Amino acid sequence: MAGRKLFTNKTDKEIYINIVLRRGLNPSDDASMRGVVVLQPYESSWRTYGDKDDVLINSFRIHFIPERGGPVESYYKVTERGSEIDDRLNRYNAIDINYENGAPSFSSWQKNE
């Protein structure tokens, strides 16, 4: 079964999210599957990704282009199974994208379906 998450852009900016999936449980084994999610300001969207074998997110890059200046981004990579970032990316089915202190960030939570 593929993975499914609710992505919500809580900013006034168009954002791009690059996702790299993990093959199995080992964080050092990136799958060849990659995805891009584009969200308009304040948009929420359920997205399906991966397949029955590759459903864990291994890395996650959030970026946008501000009105002035170059691209702004934040990058998160799982380096250890069960770590805080692994839990934040894979334990819950909803991810909120925020903009705080000049950089994009995210929080995760469980959405009842």
| Model pLDDT for residues 64-112, shown as the tens digit of each residue | 988 777 889 999 999 999 999 999 999 999 999 999 888 899 999 999 9
- pTM to 2 decimal places: 0.90
Q: Percent of the chain, pLDDT > 70?
A: 99
Contacts of 7 (CB under 8 A, 6+ apart): 17, 37, 39, 44, 45, 46, 47, 94, 95, 97
What is the distance of C-alpha 88 from the center of its chain? 9
3-109 topology per CATH: Immunoglobulin-like (2.60.40)
d(CA 58, CA 51): 14
- Name 106's bridge partners: 97
Euclidean distance between the first and final Cα of the chain, in Å?
Answer: 17
